[in-house]
Structure 1
């Protein structure tokens, strides 16, 4: 079983510390068995102070990092990482226990720990937008991008603040276990099943006026009609907006154009159908709104590096 170790460094952000155990712990196989083994660890097995008025008691000390397949570092105000950018020897020794090939994940300001260890040098990464300048100042070799929800750089993944950690964990579960499992976790946690990693972290908008309607109802409607022709004009009519207003509002709320958002949702639908249904590829392309099998193959190869048949074998065991 894939082992996830969550390393708590004091004072840890309480919300961030709960994200990985909650989401990975909710990922279940079709028979209800867990797909991940979760452990929380500290530098020792003693209580870890949080930023929100309570202490957390990890399962074990840092020796858990030796056997972890994925190591998650939640947001923290750990002074050496946040103020000087240099880690004390005990933290360096703990990180040195992580085996080669293990996946490293940070949530919010947990990225400061990875950066202080030199693991983000020359790599693109993100953190909470409010602390991006501090990251640049302490670690000028890190390619900081505060305009995204998360960055997937292969073996190292970083997320923006707080709830963006949920988006990153769902992304990882989707990559590991497929769309069906990730969607089930999202439903259990009562959160959206996806927000694109490239979506803007922070959009400074005024409070809506009575005629300043959201595109959310239209997006929900579109998900039920992905197999139909969904032009901007049709979406705007459903939202009772002009096409120009709809386009602007859509980008403000999602960080994407309507066309890009629809295309991503269609690929997600196709992936879910490949995992759960034994339908011909042509039929899956039609039901997901991608039209032809060739279009589905193109998008899967570009996004996942595999054909529809290979994807089905990986996630359905067919």
Structure 2
């Protein structure tokens, strides 16, 4: 399979912002500083450095900002953090960077999806794009793959023990092997291109720069009961899936369940794409997102 790797340009600007409690939250930016603000909540274990649609941000007038969640990349840890805490960090980040909350678009990819939806549920996202993400898994355990059901049940039974188990043995190489070992053919082809593989590996290495605790905490939060109701989201939500996605964690089918739960959702299935649809169709996702009426 011949694949043209998407452009994943390095960040144009890097920095950190102080949160009200003194923590640093690290961010990366692409596009014009006065552009339409779009916040990316990155996928599992990856850092702020892995942008998407970077070849199109200037033409679209998009200021793409990606932020490391606490304990990942260059963001300070926040012990005991919850999904409900992330919108508070986003509000502080938006204030520091001058993004404003009256036109902020939010994108969540894979494990970043619940964090994006937490912002939508709080009402601080004008529009939201969910990319390769599933619903609250505690509400559909009967339909989960056995491996995922076991993770959900472990978190429900003893969150602290589950978090320790997720951290044990987790590192950039282990996540790379997991992601590339079970993905669809289009995704394997993309991971096989030197430029994209290098960008993804760099993001994983930075994601684990402080060890596995940030990733483990994210996994507990996404596998546990979400502390918000997606049925109460009022802003537009576009859900994007690759028709060939074979991931246990997200699929077009799980996307259908999430679409039914969000009254403002519109589901898109890109027939020829896999789970890496954020990168293979990044410009299209951005165009839809910035075209939403605030």
TM over 0.5: no
TM-score normalised per structure 2: 0.32
The structure with more radius of gyration: 1
Q: Tell which has more relative contact order, 1 or 2 (C-alpha 8 A, sep 6+).
A: 2
- From the two aligned structures, give the one with the greater strand fraction: 2
